[in-house]
Amino acid sequence: MKDYKKLGDEYILHTYNRYPIVLERGEGVKLYDDKGKEYLDFAAGIAVYALGYGNKEFNDALKAQIDKIMHTSNLYYNEPACEAAKELCDVAKMDRVFFTNSGTEAIEGAIKTARKYAYLKDGSTDHNIIAMESSFHGRSMGALSVTGNAHYREAFEPGIGNVKFATYNDLGSVERLTDEKTCAVIMETVQGEGGIHPAEEEFIRGVKKLCDEKGILLILDEIQCGMGRTGYMFAWEKYGVKPDVVTIAKALGNGVPVGAFAMTSEVADASLVPGDHGTTYGGNPFACAAVREVLRQYEKRDIVSHVRELTPALEEALDSLKDKYDFIKDRRGAGFMQALELDRPCAKVISRAQENGLLVISAGADTIRIVPPLIISKGDISDMRDRLDKALSES
């Protein structure tokens, strides 16, 4: 058997400290490594594989598209992109969408949209963007510039400039930073990497009201919390606020790299025009065949209702662990986007869980993040609870 860990460490640029597991294949919510060991997957490739592994209808849809055509460029129309665009706009209650290859690129597009929108209004280029502390929006220069983790940004400064950071869930901090040159507020509806922090209702509604009053665009990053994960197709629906621009990725392609930014017609008609933005691959027939099939299955299987129905069971399982171990400080989250915060680093628990055949990930050093495929059953939840219980007792 080849030593893939050694091979990877030698040739893949060392920007990740990988866990010592070589994953080979998956079936439903189970993953198998190169030695045949089974893992119950409550990480889903970081909130990506919503519809599970080895999903036959999904794989068949991809194979059929491969046999037709995978790529055409955006100089021509293609069937899957046109259909996926309409269906995504319908579920996101938006009017126009641009497909990207990743979440980060969706953020780039959203930022460019906001700057162009503001530029067309007053002809100036000195607008600012308000982002949130402890947010995460990606690793490109633009996305990094609105990411509220100074440690990620430090070595790569200067960023795009004119970005100010407010405190998440503190409306006053947003109000204080707002001025006549503010073109956008960007934030996650539920902060993911920052530790799984849902927006408080008063906060998000207050930000929306402020944006509406001052003609500021509200960009909600739903790359992680969108696509049904919180028990709503998009997390904002719970609060009754609708953004002007939304970014989507992760679960959108169920493993095929694809993202999107979508907007209202009001924004679309007064921002980007031909020549302003583009991508060679983005929205190609292969990626959009994935999006189209994902959305078809969400509807057919009513994934959102399933998440909502099983959320109490997941929360109860995690709460029972919180009650059992006094080093668990907090259980929080929304739907199938949950966290257990410890009073100590969680790396050991994650390793022990892996040994016990459970994959969970972290969100910050002390927080265990639970973002399973959205198709898990009640049995999977109790299985997860048992395996995590064992890992916690051994840590």
Ligand X SMILES: *Cc1c(COP(=O)(O)O)cnc(C)c1O
| Residues of this chain that bind ligand X (CB under 6 A) | 102-104, 107, 136-138, 188, 192-193, 221, 223-224, 249-250, 259
H-helix or E-strand spanning residue 83: helix 79-92
Backbone angles phi, psi at 329, to 5 degrees: -85, -35
Min. distance of Cβ 138 from ligand X in angstroms? 4
Q: Which residue lies nearer to ligand X by CB, 328 or 360?
A: 360
- Report the residue closest to ligand X, judged by CB: 103
Min. distance of Cβ 363 from ligand X in angstroms? 10
Q: Which residue lies nearer to ligand X by CB, 188 or 366?
A: 188
- The answer for residues whose C-beta is within 8 angstroms of residue 275's C-beta and 6 or more apart is none
Q: Which residue lies nearer to ligand X by CB, 211 or 249?
A: 249
Min. distance of Cβ 384 from ligand X in angstroms? 21
**Radius of gyration over every alpha carbon of the chain, rounded to an integer in angstroms:** 21
3-state DSSP percent of the chain in helix, strand and coil, to 5:
45, 20, 40
Min. distance of Cβ 13 from ligand X in angstroms? 16
Min. distance of Cβ 248 from ligand X in angstroms? 10
Q: Write the DSSP symbol of residue 353.
A: H
Q: Which residue lies nearer to ligand X by CB, 80 or 103?
A: 103
Min. distance of Cβ 60 from ligand X in angstroms? 25
Q: Which residue lies nearer to ligand X by CB, 284 or 395?
A: 284
Q: β-pairing, 328-334 with 23-27?
A: unpaired
Burial letters 329-364, b for 16+ CB under 10 A, else e: eebbbbbbbbbbbbeeebeebbebbbebbbbbbbbb
Q: Which residue lies nearer to ligand X by CB, 235 or 381?
A: 235
Q: β-pairing, 358-359 with 38-41?
A: parallel
Contact between 236 and 220 (Cβ < 8 Å):
yes
User: Which residue is it, tokens 């500021």?
Assistant: 216
